[in-house]
């Protein structure tokens, strides 16, 4: 999926990723993780990529996991921040780091990067509501 780097497009990205993960047989907890982490990764791509740019989102099954990849045109690498509880933001990469099965960054030619994370299809966790 390609979309204009606009925060208003993030909900559609989240919905797209959740529906693809659902089609792959993801558990309800895995779907919640896909929704949250896709939102964080897509939001970061929009906020930290160049204005007026494009973001690409991909979801593929890799064995017993789904891998979501978010590509933007910024060469800046994501950083896991440790922010104060009262801080209004800055937790996106930390959430991806803590909650995903695995994650990483691939730098590409032309100054682009892809941030990817994996979620186990059978992920289990507390019922968060």
Q: What domains does the chain contain, in order, with CATH numbers?
A: 2-120 (3.30.565.10)
Instruction: Answer whether 100's CB lies under 8 Å from 80's CB.
Output: no
129 has a pLDDT exceeding 60: no
Nearest to 17 by CA among 61, 62, 79: 61
Q: Label the pairing between strands 102-107 and 2-4.
A: unpaired
63 has a pLDDT exceeding 70: yes
Q: pTM for this one?
A: 0.91
pLDDT at position 16: 97
* Residue percentage of the chain with pLDDT more than 90: 67
């Amino acid at each position: 999926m390609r979309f204009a780097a606009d925060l208003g497009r993030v909900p559609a990205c989240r919905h797209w990723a959740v529906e693809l993960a659902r089609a792959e047989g993801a558990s309800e907890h895995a779907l919640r993780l896909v929704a949250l982490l896709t939102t964080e990764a897509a939001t970061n791509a929009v906020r930290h990529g160049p204005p007026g740019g494009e973001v690409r989102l991909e979801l593929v099954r890799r064995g017993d996991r789904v891998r979501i990849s978010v590509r933007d045109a910024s060469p800046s690498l994501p950083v896991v921040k440790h922010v104060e509880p009262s801080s209004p933001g800055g937790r996106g990469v930390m959430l991806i780091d803590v909650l995903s099965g695995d994650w990483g960054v691939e730098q590409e030619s032309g100054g682009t990067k892809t941030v990817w994370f994996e979620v186990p299809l059978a992920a289990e966790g507390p019922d968060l509501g």
